[in-house]
Amino acid sequence: MKQLKISVIVPVYNARSFLRRCINSLIYQNYKNVEIIIVDDGSTDDSLAIANEYATSDKRIKVIHQANKGMGMARNAGLAEATGDYVAFVDSDDFVHPEIYVRLLALALEYNADVAGCGRTRFYNDKFTFETAPANKKQHDVCLYSGEEATFHLLAVTSDIKPAAWDKLYKIELFKEIRFPDLLFEDAAIMYRLLLAAKKMVTTKEALYAYYVHEGSIITKPWDRKKLMSFFKVTKNIEEGLALSGKEDLVYASYIWRINFGIEAWCRCKKSIELTDAEKRNILTYISNTARLQNLKRMPVNFKRKLVYFLFPFLHEALIKLLKIHFD
């Protein structure tokens, strides 16, 4: 029986400071049948040279160079070249546990799942290692979902299934007709489609992915107009996509995700010097329109949460302080 191949796609843009750490975590994986597809997305530093250096010494590494098109388009370029049975994504400033693919593939095969996900750990300085991380959850912390259950969890619960593309292993067939859009929040835009297309998803809480939060990372950059417009478009597209699927319960679950994301959007935009006051108020209007009483009645959350959603557009500053809402 042939050993299954995993294609790992790494989009790269000006990542010279951490690219070696990322690639090293992939070439020293305990699962050896991997192809590592590095997509240089028009870097202006020496990221491409670093990638090519690794490719000359490890035949499993393939390097693609393209003009700068953004994260989603870089991932799509990698998908076009992937030849694995499974596919995974790693961001160039992050790195992974040596056994991430051994364990995720084993889970996928044991539970006959199309998607296997793991926990993640954030780190804030270059001294972090998995050995210094807080104790991992063990293998018995495993949950199995149908594709529809996983989609509901993604939208309405979010404790174990989040919209990031990089903490999961996917059967390659899921991407046969799905690609990342040319938007920010590109992984959130398609995650519900991937999970709905999956027969099963299995997750472990064991933290096998190390997510680097630093000054230049996407999560810490101030929201600008492009990011705000992507927020509106992605959340609206998810609602429309779920409506077309005929799964009304998931539409109402998507309202929960939209409001939670809207609260984050407000917190990240309120101090922006680029956005106008009117543009910032649009976020509150968007939350208010989503948290209408007829929608709240159908949202699968408790009364306290519904009350917070309803009041946030009017009492946002007080609720942020009262509930200690913050985003790293």
Specify the pLDDT at position 217.
58
Specify the pLDDT at position 325.
86
Average pLDDT over residues 3-23: 96
224-261, pLDDT tens digit by residue? 999 999 999 999 999 999 999 889 999 999 999 999 99
**Maximum Cα interatomic distance, the chain, rounded to a whole number of Å:** 62
pTM for the whole thing? 0.94
Query: Where in the chain is CATH 3.90.550.10?
Result: 6-212
- Considering the domain delimited by 6-212, tell me its CATH architecture: Alpha-Beta Complex (3.90)
Would the pLDDT of 134 be above 70?
Answer: no
Query: How does DSSP assign 81-96, residue by residue?
Result: H--SSEEEE--TT-EE
Would the pLDDT of 1 be above 50?
Answer: no
For residue 322, the tally of other CB atoms under 10 A from its CB is 10
β-bridge pairing 115-123 and 200-212: parallel
Instruction: Give the residues across from 212 on adjacent strands.
Output: 123
CB-neighbour burial class of residue 128 (10 A; exposed 0-12, middle 13-18, buried 19+): middle
Helix (H) or strand (E) holding 115: strand 115-123
For residue 72 the two structure tokens come to 């989603």
Asked if residue 231 lies in contact with residue 261, where contact means CB atoms within 8 angstroms, the answer is: yes
For residue 311 the two structure tokens come to 């009041």
35-72, pLDDT tens digit by residue? 999 999 999 999 999 999 999 999 999 999 999 999 99
- Distance of alpha carbon 131 from alpha carbon 211, whole angstroms: 15
Would the pLDDT of 131 be above 60?
Answer: yes
